[in-house]
């Protein structure tokens, strides 16, 4: 009985040691250890990185432009100002089902 308990403990210990590297999450890419990266941050892919990725998927990437961008002159170099749409965004901003 004692031998089987020691063997079991040794087996569990070995398994825990083998799995330990897998249990540690990778260091987040964002600044200050955040788990997200946003445009303008050093961890954000460059325009050429996005272009290369887009080529690998046959040009199927879609550039997401936030709804609120219509209230500003541009978003990432794309002209976006539209006062009528900005008024709609402002009116619907708290409506969870508005898209």
Spatial contact of 89 and 68, defined as CB atoms under 8 Å apart: yes
The structure's pTM equals: 0.49
Q: What is the pLDDT of residues 12-57, one digit of tens each?
A: 554 444 545 555 555 555 666 667 888 788 888 888 999 999 999 9
- CB-based contact 98:92 (threshold 8 Å): yes
* All structural domains of the chain with their residue ranges: 1-62, 63-99
Q: For position 42, what pLDDT does the model report?
A: 86
Is the pLDDT assigned to residue 88 strictly greater than 90?
Answer: yes
């Amino acid at each position: 009985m004692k031998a089987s308990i020691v063997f079991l403990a040794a087996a569990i210990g070995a398994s825990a040691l083998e799995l330990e590297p897998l249990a540690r999450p990778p260091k987040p890419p964002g600044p200050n250890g955040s788990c997200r990266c946003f445009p303008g941050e050093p961890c954000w892919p460059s325009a050429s990185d996005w272009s290369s990725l887009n080529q690998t998927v046959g040009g199927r990437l879609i550039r997401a432009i936030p709804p609120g961008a219509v209230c500003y002159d541009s978003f990432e170099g794309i002209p976006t100002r539209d006062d009528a749409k900005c008024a709609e965004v402002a009116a619907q901003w708290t409506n969870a089902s508005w898209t």
